[in-house]
Chain A
Amino acid sequence: MKQFISDLKKYWYFAIYSAKTDLKAEVANSYLNWIWWVLEPFLNMIVYTFVFKNLFPSDKSFPVFIYSGLMFWNFFNRTIGYSVKLVRANKEIVTKVYVPKFILLIGNMFLNAFKMLVGLVILIPLIIIYKVQITWTALMIIPLFLILFVFSFGCGTILLHFGVFVDDLSYAVGILLNMLMFLSGVFYDLQTGLPEGYGTFIGTFNPVACIIDGLHQVLLNGVLPNMPVLGIWTVISIIMSVIGIRIIYKYENSYVKVI
């Protein structure tokens, strides 16, 4: 763990700088550049609103509901999707110089977090248009995001390790992520949208659903999220991160030889 902290300090600038340059490169390589980061969730929101509005009874602020959930979901989705192929994607660097592999993951997470923040450009107008009453509970979004960050990091470090050795893991993870999206309450309200019992079940055993539901609660209903469950998942996430970091330190030696 000591090594983790000293490496984090040592490579901190690198993580931030590489997130910045990757962003710039992405902008330079597409025509609509940063507008994509807003447009993609925005168009998705419109599609989902059309499809799910009649399926799940909900109030008028449904677009806010979906858009905010998608912002969190996309962060998780991108981080996990990237972590599986991380070592191979950074082959050029990994084979030429030593870098703790989780630093590359953190750099990518900064990038995703920034893209998520760009989404506020749409979210804030939506909140105003749909006259959502914001209360002080909205501040809980920050700790909620932190939990999501740690959970994603934990999953990411572990998947990063197996992604090196198992070629087709990225397909499997892609499908799992797709399934998970439908089980995470992005489109429906966990409390009211599902038959009795299912919502509580998903909200307890799926941390992403728990966090996204928490987000919806604090943003739209002014109600605090399910604290005990969140607390337990925070502890689990931290444990997963520690395990992930241990695995990486132990085996990163052999990554270069495999790719």
Chain B
Amino acid sequence: MAEKALIIDDICINYRNIRHMSIHQSILKKDEVEGPDIYEAVKHVSFDVEKGEILGIIGRNGSGKSTMLRAIAGIFRPDTGKIDTLGHRISLMSIGVGFKPDITGRENIMTSGMLLGFKPEYIKERMPEIVEFSELGEFIDKPVRTYSSGMYSKLSFSITAIMDPDVMLVDEVLSVGDVSFREKSFNKMQELINDADRTVLIVSHDLSTLSNMCNRVLWLHDGEMKMIGETNEVLEKYKEFMKQ
């Protein structure tokens, strides 16, 4: 039995519809606000991921894929159930890591790196590589708010790609930037994925990418786990289902 990288045990994630309220509402309309308006985004999902495995995740929009990845990344805890990351360093690669708009690209690399749990010295060491990979040129020393959306995603991709986390969660970023950067990032992804020790979870709607890259695929439907298993088997069923 191979070493496990992630254990997801029966997790549920609910969005309670508390939303914002005003002081007026919270005092005067208490009973109205506290209605049990619960939306279950992820329902009783459990699966294991082995070390070095590449797991694809598919499902319609709103089926809880991103929510689940965010929970695995530790942005919020699931309401019930357990996510055991077994001490691995996990990073979520989605369009735009947390950037502060007013500080420069370079400073944002430092802050995001630190938030991902890396030491400042290590980030400084990798800095030239990140800057080069991002192709931002002189813009790296300009505030991030001046970036175009393409540059923004290039930078966020470069950070996670170069920083080397143990477990990578990839949320729809394979279509980033212009054609040449897309090719480059795709190759980089391949390279990262080919590293036998790395565990990757990919959310994508691009079925051909998934069938090229993944060992296994998980299919989420309305927050429930519909199927998990061999890539082609699941993808076939999924295609059939979507045609109906």
Given A166-B21, A172-B23, are A97 and B97 also a contact pair (CB < 8 Å)? yes
Contacts of A93 in B (CB 8 A): 98-100, 115
- Give Cα A10–Cα B92 distance, bound, in whole angstroms: 19
Contact residues of B between 3 and 37, Cβ < 8 Å to A = 15-16, 18-24, 26
Residue on A with the closest CB to B114? Answer: A14
A168 to B112 alpha-carbon distance, docked (Å):
30
A6 at the interface (CB under 8 A from B): no
Task: Evaluate whether A167 and B15 lie within 8 angstroms (CB atoms) in the complex, with A97-B116, A253-B76 already known.
Answer: no
Query: What's the least CB distance linking A218 to chain B, in Å?
Result: 37
Residues of A130-152 whose CB lies within 8 A of B: none
CB-contacts of B94-143 with A (<8 A): 94, 96-104, 107, 110-112, 114-117, 119-120, 143
Residue A52 interfacial (CB < 8 Å)? no
Task: Tell me whether A17 and B120 are in contact (CB under 8 A).
Answer: yes
**The stretch of A22-30, A114-122, A194-202 that contacts the partner chain:** A22-30
Q: Give every chain B residue within 8 A of A5 (Cβ-Cβ).
A: none
* Bound Cα distance from A17 to B70, whole angstroms: 25
CB contact under 8 A between A13 and B112, given known A172-B23, A254-B76: no
The answer, among A21, A169, A253, A256, for a CB contact under 8 Å with B107, is A21
Counting contact residues on chain A (CB < 8 A from B), the size range is: 20 to 34
Partner of B74, one of A11, A98, A169: A98
Quick check: B73 and A14 within 8 Å, CB to CB? no
Give Cα A97–Cα B74 distance, bound, in whole angstroms.
7
Give Cα A94 to B112, complex, Å: 11
B101 touches A258 (CB 8 A): no
Q: Count the B residues whose beta carbon is within 8 Å of the partner chain — how many? A: 39
Q: How far apart sit A25 and B143, CA to CA, in the bound complex (Å)? A: 8
Cβ distance A37 to chain B, nearest Cβ, rounded Å: 17
Known: A28-B143, A166-B23, A258-B20. A95 touches B103 (CB 8 A): no
Name the residue on B nearest A255 (C-beta).
B76
Say whether A257 faces chain B, with CB atoms less than 8 Å apart.
Answer: yes
Residue of A nearest to B119 (CB): A13
Which A234-259 residues have a C-beta within 8 angstroms of B? 253-254, 256-258
Is residue B242 contacting chain A, with contact meaning CB distance below 8 A?
no
A40 at the interface (CB under 8 A from B): no
Which one of B19, B73, B101, B120 lies within 8 Å of A97 (CB-CB)? Answer: B73
Q: Is B51 an interface residue (CB 8 A)?
A: no
Residues of B within 8 A of A97 (CB): 73, 75, 91-92, 97-98, 112, 115-116
A96 part of interface (Cβ distance < 8 Å): yes
Within 8 Å CB of B100, what residues of A?
Answer: 18, 21-22, 25, 92-93
Query: Are A96 and B98 in contact (CB-based, < 8 A)?
Result: yes
The answer to whether B75 touches A169, judged by C-beta atoms less than 8 angstroms apart, is no
- A interface list, Cβ under 8 A from B: 10-11, 13-14, 17-18, 21-22, 24-26, 28-29, 90, 92-99, 165-169, 172, 253-254, 256-258
Q: List 22 A-B contacts (CB under 8 A).
A: A13-B114, A22-B100, A25-B103, A26-B102, A28-B143, A29-B102, A92-B98, A92-B100, A94-B75, A94-B98, A96-B75, A96-B97, A97-B97, A166-B20, A166-B21, A166-B22, A166-B23, A253-B76, A253-B77, A256-B75, A257-B15, A258-B18
